[in-house]
């Protein structure tokens, strides 16, 4: 039988996660996490010996097109609708400055 999660464990996890929780939040999360563990304890009672592992409960298949080489648009056609370009390159606003450290 799994033991309940106590307030001290919730406070420790909060500290490790750098979360500042109020006493009300600690009480609330303690109850919620204990309820989750009780639910998992219930799930462990199920016999899953003959159940095959799966990623989805429905038969889902990805539909991929064939990856065939094609003629590219070319630089002129690609830059046709660009708001700004500099020669063969897209021109975009500067988002980092010297103080960003990047």
Residue 29 neighbours by CB distance under 10 Å: 19
| Residue 77: inside a domain | no
- Res 3 pLDDT > 80: no
Domain that holds residue 19: 7-43
Residue 48 within any structural domain of the chain: no
What is the chain's mean pLDDT, rounded? 88
Report yes or no on 85 lying in a domain: no
Query: Per the domain annotation, does 71 fall within a domain?
Result: no
101 falls in which pLDDT band (50, 70, 90)? low
Residue 1 pLDDT more than 60? Answer: no
Residue 24 has pLDDT above 90, yes or no: yes
Number of domains in the chain: 1
Taking the C-alpha atoms of residue 25 and residue 22, their distance in angstroms, rounded to an integer, is: 5
Instruction: Determine contact, residues 95/102, Cβ cutoff 8 Å.
Output: no
Whether residue 91 lies inside any domain: the answer is: no
In-domain check, residue 38: yes
Q: Over the stretch 46-78, which tens digit does the pLDDT of each residue have?
A: 998 998 888 788 887 887 888 899 999 999 999
Nearest-angstrom CA–CA distance, 85 and 81: 10
pTM of the model: 0.47
């Amino acid at each position: 039988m799994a033991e309940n999660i106590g307030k001290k464990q919730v406070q420790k996890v909060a500290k490790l996660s750098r979360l500042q929780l109020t006493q009300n939040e600690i009480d609330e999360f303690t109850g919620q996490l204990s309820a989750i563990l009780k639910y998992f304890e219930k799930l462990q009672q199920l016999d899953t010996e003959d159940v095959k592992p799966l990623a989805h409960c429905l038969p889902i298949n990805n539909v991929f097109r064939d990856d065939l080489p094609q003629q590219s648009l070319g630089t002129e056609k690609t830059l046709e609708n660009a708001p700004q370009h500099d020669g063969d390159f897209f021109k975009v606003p500067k988002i980092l400055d010297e103080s960003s450290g990047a």
